[in-house]
Structure 1
């Protein structure tokens, strides 16, 4: 049971400011800045609603409770380590900095004096000319320097921050920049409605007062990190304020027995932050890493599962397996995982198959490939990845069968691979799940594909097969922005030409083709006779040589649903060789 030393009401001005103990995010806990535009917009909307209510003079609207924060506070409250509340305090500081900068740009002596006071009172100050800068909010090592350069190190003479010449493109750094720009544009838009400087200064002063005096937190003070972590996890288990990745890092730091081991955990986290483009990718990687070793686990229970399993493992082998060792494994796997999701293994044929997985959003295949790549070269896994693609397309994309069963199968063999199974045995297992040719042919002949990305992928692969069969020079389609999906029978036909059961025909694969050139919606909805030359002259065989004319009855001047069925049956014959059955690998 966690010990709570004190719980106190605190305004934002009492939490961060010149007359308060510095708030520090410790290096061995907490996450990086993670609020996206969605959270920043919600925060701004709440502040604006509160500001208007506060200006009404109602006593009930004098304060706005923004939530609890958890700190480790020493006996004399001279220092505070922040365990929960970083996102709200960081976002509030960013908003205060935007107010500071806009005041400086107004340019009058009053505005610039106010800007300097805001900086000194609530962001950072120097006690003396030779004294170091004191920052009132100190972020953890992953964001600390960037936050200082971009927000806190502000020059009163120039009104500019130090800036970052070449900032590391970590997701958290991008989000800090985006939050600043978001607030700046919102405030600038608000001020544009005021014609004189006094009105603009009054509006900014009202916003500033709302933040400093009106935003209220409950600070939960705890005496030790273990107490704080328990409170921290309890709070965040009931919401989305903390991610699984951050909770895992906190747990590993807690279980690290010495500084060197903590450093190893931090080193691994630096790699994660620098390797992945988006925070969501880190979350997905952690789940796929765990699934690859232990089988299926749902996202909502991932942290509890990892904590429980690792606790037992660490306690069972205290000297042989440590938090640092696990972090090293995580780091090694993350490097391979980035190669998989970015299709950058360096093996052209394998990367081409990875790009197909990306086009299909077939993320469920990544745990198996991650497990397989630990002890096998990518070139040795070509048959496996192609079999997985056939399984995914035949089962999920065309067959529309239960995707959870495919995931369960893939996750189970990923676990077997991690446990020492050989590539050949895993390939045989996957081949055993691929629907047979007769089943696939029937499924394909009846398939509707409403997602343009999936329809494009399927037609691109058919196009490549047609070109290969006919010995036509290759044409790059997959990465071309000039190629688009086209419904032959249009989505918005003339009323007199509209088919019965229109919705069931328009997305049928027999009605879909690819065209090169800029898509023109007006042309797309024209009657067939006005578009036939476009198909005949197309450089893409899937348009020019698949008898699209069957979809139009030229004698009766109407669309033929039978033509859609006929063309789709022909496409199905090609599809059988594009995504082969298990016999291909047996």
Structure 2
């Protein structure tokens, strides 16, 4: 029976970049991603710790963090599960120091970068760090090879990992090229003798991944997606890992690192259908079946869900039918300040892509539900429970458009939404602009286009009219003003920042000086209807309130 081992020890760099270790970055790892910001921080910290004089052997030590390896204790080969950013950046730094140093010092530094072959031991020259296969030869030629950093290529030719490698090498050369030989020698001695890493070496993959998931590492934060990638790709047969790693990284590149990480939270919700109780990684492991058939997960879930999520967040659904209408619905939903609606949308678009009629009908009702929950002031837990029930109905194939469906509003909920619409909408700060934009597009017949970076909700009847203004004639009592000032009927959208002085103008002046554009026409249907009014009275507001709420009631079937 194989005995699994875990060893942990703190070692200086001279005992790490040595013949006891040959580091390999497995193909399933994410690309090298440190930017010059992380590299600059590392160099500054080392230089500060090194100091400017005195015996290096007595200088304060500097802790670089930890790395996690899969390694047979009897062999030098070590797969890097966590730590490639530090190991790669340290290799770049040592390569730059080698190429800037005098030949004798440079040759000594090169021994930390490349293991020299020994015919007596039966070893050949081999670089101590081998990046992922797709970047290994590039890294050898431009960084690790002697004099490699002396003629670095133009970074604009490259992207992703290779661009980061060249950028960091160029940055380090720029920072160190004017240093004296003695300064370079002292800095190298300090790195080799007084900079430490904690090496955590597990003899089996499962133990290494478990350690990897709980350790906090210095540098670029690891996302749950990085940890899950190591586990899922690592569970594949070795012969399939490269192909699925390439597919995984293509998806990540397409979405971008931030959205890719968010996608895993949505996939967890699609399976769990409840508010997260623990960590994303723990719940993903428990409720998303990946380990038994990781290839199936990547092909049947990760890839189609990523496509759907990209279309949802970019509002870029493509189809032979209803594409524009579907993307408009996604735009309405995207204006809300929560994304709890996205997992059901991802599930439907991914699984019903060939049925755009169904998708459009579903998203139209999802808009009604999402806005309705917001207007009813549902708390996040209630909202997530509702979407969890909806996911259950989607996955069991139940009729989503029946009265009993969690996608639909029941009579009590419709009444609550109508009551909220007739309330002080302006005070519900997180819904007022999305609601007014939705209503504005409805009044414009769907032709409105909103491209201004500034959109504000403003009052027609001001909150604090000046003494002697005409407003106090049309709204003589404070109770009348309080009743109407924050109502839907009294609100407009403007593409300019609030101007409190202009906001208190009398109605006729406000129309011409504040609400109108240069050509006398507003960008917004809501505002244009105000410009068409000859006066602004309680009767005007009653009529306008009935018209606006009636339009929303018809759209969302609230009657």
> C-alpha distance in 2, partners of 1:333/1:120?
47
The answer (yes or no) to whether the contact 2:376–2:417 under 8 Å persists in 1 is yes
Instruction: Tell me what 1:574 maps to.
Output: 548
> C-alpha distance in 2, partners of 1:111/1:198?
10
> C-alpha distance in 2, partners of 1:386/1:213?
65
Computing the radius of gyration over CA atoms, which structure comes out larger, 1 or 2? 2
Q: Which of these residues, 72, 80, 83, is aligned with residue 81 of structure 2? A: 83
Q: Compute the displacement of 1:311 (Å).
A: 7.0
Instruction: Tell me what 1:559 maps to.
Output: none
Q: Which of these residues, 348, 352, 364, is aligned with residue 386 of structure 1? A: 364
Q: Which of these residues, 449, 452, 458, is aligned with residue 476 of structure 1? A: 449
Instruction: Tell me what 1:349 maps to.
Output: 325
Matched, 1:460 2:431: no
Q: Which of these residues, 273, 279, 283, is aligned with residue 252 of structure 2? A: 273
Describe how 1:497-576 pairs up with structure 2 within 5 A.
513-516=492-495, 519=496, 526=502, 528-529=504-505, 532-533=511-512, 534-536=514-516, 537-539=520-522, 540-546=524-530, 570=544, 573-575=547-549
Matched, 1:64 2:62: yes
Matched, 1:333 2:305: yes
Describe how 1:423-462 pairs up with structure 2 within 5 A.
423-425=400-402, 428-432=405-409, 436-444=413-421, 445-448=423-426, 455-462=432-439
Q: 1:493 to 1:210 in 2, by over 3 A?
A: farther
User: Secondary structure of the residue that 2:63 maps to in structure 1?
Assistant: strand
Matched, 1:283 2:255: no
For residues 161-202 of structure 1, give each alpha carbon's deviation from its aligned partner in whole angstroms, at most 9, with x where no partner exists.
3746353xx6x778x479849x949x97x89xxxx9568x87
The answer (yes or no) to whether the contact 1:155–1:161 under 8 Å persists in 2 is no
Matched, 1:249 2:229: yes
Instruction: Tell me what 1:419 maps to.
Output: 396
How many residues of Structure 1 are paired with residues of Structure 2 in the alignment?
Answer: 521
Instruction: Tell me what 2:202 maps to.
Output: 222
Q: Compute the displacement of 1:484 (Å).
A: 2.8
Q: Which runs of 5+ in 2 are unaligned?
A: 118-123, 469-477, 479-483
The answer (yes or no) to whether the contact 1:486–1:514 under 8 Å persists in 2 is yes
Q: Compute the displacement of 1:125 (Å).
A: 9.7
Compute the TM-score of the two structures, normalised by the length of structure 2. Answer: 0.73
> C-alpha distance in 2, partners of 1:144/1:490?
68
Q: Compute the displacement of 1:378 (Å).
A: 2.8
The answer (yes or no) to whether the contact 2:67–2:199 under 8 Å persists in 1 is yes
User: Secondary structure of the residue that 2:296 maps to in structure 1?
Assistant: helix
Instruction: Tell me what 2:121 maps to.
Output: none
The answer (yes or no) to whether the contact 2:81–2:212 under 8 Å persists in 1 is yes
Q: 1:378 to 1:527 in 2, by over 3 A?
A: closer
> C-alpha distance in 1, partners of 2:511/2:337?
33
Q: Which of these residues, 365, 374, 387, is aligned with residue 410 of structure 1? A: 387
Instruction: Tell me what 1:317 maps to.
Output: none
> C-alpha distance in 2, partners of 1:260/1:451?
55
> C-alpha distance in 2, partners of 1:579/1:271?
44
User: Secondary structure of the residue that 2:425 maps to in structure 1?
Assistant: coil
The answer (yes or no) to whether the contact 1:151–1:161 under 8 Å persists in 2 is no
> C-alpha distance in 2, partners of 1:80/1:512?
65
Instruction: Tell me what 2:473 maps to.
Output: none
User: Secondary structure of the residue that 2:382 maps to in structure 1?
Assistant: helix
Instruction: Tell me what 1:55 maps to.
Output: 51
The answer (yes or no) to whether the contact 1:344–1:351 under 8 Å persists in 2 is yes
Query: RMSD across aligned C-alpha pairs, in angstroms?
Result: 5.2
> C-alpha distance in 2, partners of 1:405/1:235?
34
For residues 304-347 of structure 1, give each alpha carbon's deviation from its aligned partner in whole angstroms, at most 9, with x where no partner exists.
23334567984xxxxxxx23222221223322332232222211
Q: Compute the displacement of 1:402 (Å).
A: 0.6
Instruction: Tell me what 1:137 maps to.
Output: 129
> C-alpha distance in 2, partners of 1:341/1:20?
48
Q: 1:337 to 1:53 in 2, by over 3 A?
A: closer
> C-alpha distance in 2, partners of 1:494/1:305?
55
Instruction: Tell me what 2:22 maps to.
Output: 22
For residues 365-406 of structure 1, give each alpha carbon's deviation from its aligned partner in whole angstroms, at most 9, with x where no partner exists.
22112222314523322122111112211222x333212212
Instruction: Tell me what 1:555 maps to.
Output: none
Compute the TM-score of the two structures, normalised by the length of structure 1. Answer: 0.70
> C-alpha distance in 2, partners of 1:118/1:422?
73
